[in-house]
Amino acid sequence: MAHITASVEYGIHSLLWLAASDAAPLSSRDLAEFQGLSPSFVAKIFPKLEKAGILKATEGVRGGYVLAKAPEEISVLEIVDAIEGRKPLFDCLDIRGRCVVFGEDPPAWATAGVCSIHAVMLRAEKAMRESLASQSLANVARAVGRKAPAGFSDEVRNCLQARVVARAGRSKA
């Protein structure tokens, strides 16, 4: 399994559609069905994004999720950390103290500070995280938007809204 999993892909795509929906609340089912994704899979992602302060939930028959802040203020790193947790790139087992030269009792210098191999991995992780932190949801939305023809965003908004209206109708019936 890749370090950054399909849950992040589904999450970012869902946030992009939410950003495009013009602040109309959408349920995780609305967004899953709209994207041809498994609703139960997507449903697991949204509470994590809510807990991280990226989404907020609204109540009522037309309730659902909205972005908790502007797309410019949501970094890709925040989304990744919210969904994946803060998992390290490299999980150092700190084997340096086990060398037979040390016997049963490694000297303090041998295990002092961060292992030099771990330090290299932490620098690489920092570079990766800084790159993800430098990109916002708004940046990604603009990149997607540049590909779409004029009128597409209206089409998306209408389609998402029709879905919300249909859901509200079903829940009243």
Nearer to a second copy, 14 or 48 (CB): 14
State in angstroms the smallest separation of the CB of 122 from a second copy. Answer: 10
Q: Which two tokens stand for residue 26?
A: 């959408």
Q: Which two tokens stand for residue 56?
A: 């907020």
Q: How many CA atoms lie less than 13 Å away from 4 in the CB half-sphere?
A: 16
Nearer to a second copy, 86 or 172 (CB): 86
Q: How far apart, in whole angstroms, are the C-alpha atoms of residue 10 and residue 101?
A: 50
Q: How far apart, in whole angstroms, are the C-alpha atoms of residue 34 and residue 14?
A: 9
Nearer to a second copy, 97 or 169 (CB): 97
CA 120 to chain centroid, in Å, comes to: 26
Q: How far apart, in whole angstroms, are the C-alpha atoms of residue 35 and residue 15?
A: 12
Residue 65: C-alpha distances to residues 37, 59, 62, 141 (Å): 17, 9, 10, 18
State in angstroms the smallest separation of the CB of 143 from a second copy. Answer: 4
Q: How far apart, in whole angstroms, are the C-alpha atoms of residue 156 and residue 17?
A: 8
Which residues of this protein are in contact with a second copy, per CB under 8 A?
1-6, 8-10, 12-13, 33-37, 76, 87-93, 95-96, 98-101, 109-110, 112-113, 116-117, 119-121, 123-132, 135, 139-140, 143-144, 147-149, 152, 155-156, 159
State in angstroms the smallest separation of the CB of 59 from a second copy. Answer: 26
State in angstroms the smallest separation of the CB of 128 from a second copy. Answer: 4
Nearer to a second copy, 57 or 153 (CB): 153
State in angstroms the smallest separation of the CB of 34 from a second copy. Answer: 5
Nearer to a second copy, 36 or 60 (CB): 36
